[in-house]
Structure formats: C-alpha cells, structure tokens
Homo-oligomer: A and B are copies of this chain.
Amino acid sequence: MTDVAEQSLVAEWHALLARHAAVSGALECRLQDEHGIGVNEFETLERLATCDRKCRAADLTDATHLTQSTTSRLISRMERDGLVERSMCDIDRRGIFVMLTAAGRRLYEEAKPTHRAVLREQLAGEG
C-alpha cells in the first residue's frame, strides 16, 4: 500500500470519526435538552416502537451497538423511568421481552421530530 493510499485511509477514518462526533453530539444535546433522553435511549424507543411493541433484549443490543451488560442496565434505567416494561418471555424462560409503555410511546413520538431535525441539519447535502 502506498503512502498516499494509507493517508487517504487515515483521512477517511478521521472524517468518519468527526462526522460521528458531530451528529451524535448534536443528537445527544438536543434530545437531552428537549426530551431528557440520550441517543441510546432514543434508538431503543425507536426499535421498540417499530417492532410490534415486543422485543428481546438481545435485539436492542444489536440496535444500539452496545454490549449485553450495558443494554441490560439501559433497560433498567428506562424501566425505572417508566418508559419500558420487562416481561417474561414464555417461549424461552431465560429471555425477556421489553415493551414500550404508553409514556414511552408518547416520548418517542415527541422526540422523533427533534431527532429527524438534527439529522437534517447534520447530514444535509452529504448523502
């Protein structure tokens, strides 16, 4: 690999880092300020809202790119805040289902326009 090719690879990585930092930072601020949730909470709400209201914990791990343990605690925090509920998974009693509460669905609907607006601002003309 030539030096110039390597440099462009590094530049691409730095661009990816910068874009991720910009978008997730902006989302984090706006979602926190306007709705009191973070990016991971929003992604979790969205996944649950578009998943027939019933979702395994492992599905949420995939959706958020977090680890299994972090997902477990995220669910706990959201449960504490009344946004989701855990329920026993009858087909596999090791697992759990996570479901949106009414408050969780309401918060998702409220936060969604903010989320989309930030994406429009941050990703404008770069698709």
Contact = CB atoms under 8 A, between A and B. Distances in A.
* Copies of the protein in its oligomer: 2
Interface residues of A, number: 22
Interface string A1-35: 10000101110110011111101110000000000
Contacts of A6: 116
A16 B10 contact: no
A94 interface: no
A127 B15 CA distance: 11
Interface string A99-126: 0000000000000000010011001000
Contact of A123 (B13, B65, B116): B13
Contacts of A16: 16, 19-20, 23
